[in-house]
Structure formats: C-alpha cells, structure tokens
Amino acid sequence: MRFNQHLPSIFTLINLFLGFIAIINIQQENYFIACYILLAAGAFDSIDGKLARMLGIPTNFGREIDSLADMVSFCLAPALLVYGLYTQNMPGISGEIIASSPLIMGAIRLARFNTTEDQPTDSFIGLPTPINALAIASLVLFMEQIKLTNAEYSQPRILLPLILSLSFLMVCRVQYPKFPLLSFKAGKQNNYRLFGVIIFVICFSVAIMIGYPYRVLAFFIAYYILSGLVIYIINLGNIKTTIQES
C-alpha cells in the first residue's frame, strides 16, 4: 500500500530522468535519439496523473513535481533541441530568443495551469507542454529525414515559424482533449478518445517495424493540433452568429 502511494511520483521522476537524458543527447548532437527519448518521457507523463486518480491518491506534491518534470522534459529539452539544430548560428541573440520560445511559453502554460482553479474536466486550455514537445520532436524527425533527399524543405525559414506557432498555442485559449481514462465504461466521448489512442499505438508499432515511425507520429500529432484549432474556430463562429442574432 505504501509503495502504491509513491507509484505515480515514480513515473513522474522517470519522466524527469528521461528529460535529463534527452538533454545530454542533445549536447552530444544525438538529435534523433533525443527525440525518441522525449517520446518515451511523454508516455510516462501520460500515465502518472491517470495512475494517481485511479489509485485515489492525487496530491499537491504530485501536481508540483509533475510540473517541474514537464518543465525540464517538455520545455527546456525542446528549446535546446531547436537551438542545437537550427538557431545557434543566427546573428546576435535572435537564435536564443527563438529557441527559448518553447521554454518561456511552456513556463507560462504550466504556471497558469497550476494557479487556475476552474479547469475543464475533459480538456486542456492551450496546447499541453508534452504535446508541444512531441510536435517539435516529430517535426525534427520528419524534416531531418526529408533533408536526406531534399535539403530545401528543412531550412530554418520553414521550420522556425512552425515552432513559434506551436509555442504560442500553449498560451492561447484553444481547448485540447485530455488523455482518455483507461476504461470503456467512462462514457462515449472517452471511448472515442481511447479508441484513437489504441489506433495510434498499433500504427506506431507497425511503423517502427517497417521503419517509418516519424511519419505516423507527425500525422497523429498534426491531427490532434489541427482538430483543436478547427473546433475552436467553428465554436468561435457559432458564438459570433448567436451574438448577432440576439
């Protein structure tokens, strides 16, 4: 029983450790390895909170250590990844400013999340930091593979606006669905999300075997981000229409 109380925090600390390992690999210019380590960190991050609620032991300590781990794994590590690959040779401090956007916006995102009491139960307000980190990692993997055949499409002038846009999404008001509960008895909406996660795991596993995991990862993350934006725009249009009619 005592071990179970610490189990969610153990998963969080593994996430933090993986973030540290990713940073070491970035410093050693092992960028591909760092990207896949961030993916593993994201998997552990998706488990710890669900595990705490399933065991009935969510605590303020768990919430704070989770945010600190996210700060390292999903804010600092992606910022260093962007700097090491694309911005370190830019003039002045422009490269540092651009590369720090995942770190700075992520810090704001986490602080706002921890201090906002009225949080939706089934969605996040703003792009979650783990998804932002995985989006950057998948973008790097995808573009670096394309670079092998067509170097033009991996130039910073194409990638950096995307990375800045992803960082901005962390502090905007767009809502993104939370990771589903690991149960088919939690309602239809949860079942749809859980089914989507299962499809992703199957497709990603097959893609690993045939050698194209970065394509599947990029596709599913792009779908998650774009679907949230589309729903937000549709809802915004509906609100404006309602106001005009009234």
pLDDT in tens, 39-69: 999 988 888 777 766 666 666 777 788 889 9
The mean pLDDT value of the chain amounts to 83
Contact 105, 168 (CB under 8 A): yes
Q: How far apart are CA 79 and CA 103, in angstroms?
A: 6
Task: Write down the pLDDT at residue 56.
Answer: 66
Q: Is the dihedral of CA 21, 164, 105, 60 positive or negative?
A: negative
- Tens of pLDDT, residue by residue over 197-238, are 888 889 888 888 887 788 888 888 999 999 889 988 888 766
- Tens of pLDDT, residue by residue over 81-102, are 999 988 888 888 988 999 999 9
pLDDT class of 134 with cuts at 50, 70, 90: very high
Task: Write down the pLDDT at residue 66.
Answer: 87
Task: Write down the pLDDT at residue 135.
Answer: 93
Task: Write down the pLDDT at residue 178.
Answer: 80
Residue 104 has pLDDT above 90, yes or no: yes
Structure tokens at 35: 């990207």
pTM of the model: 0.86
Task: Write down the pLDDT at residue 166.
Answer: 92
Task: Write down the pLDDT at residue 22.
Answer: 96
Residue 112 has pLDDT above 80, yes or no: yes
Q: Kindly report the number of other CB atoms within 10 A of residue 128's CB atom.
A: 25
Contact 87, 99 (CB under 8 A): yes
**For residue 214, what are the contacts with CB-CB under 8 A and spacing of at least 6?**
138, 141, 142, 145
Residue 79: helix, strand or coil by DSSP? helix
Domains of the chain, earliest start first: 2-179+212-245 (1.20.120)
Residue 242 has pLDDT above 90, yes or no: no
Task: Write down the pLDDT at residue 28.
Answer: 94
Cα–Cα–Cα angle for 15, 27, 81, rounded to 5 degrees: 65
Contact 75, 134 (CB under 8 A): no
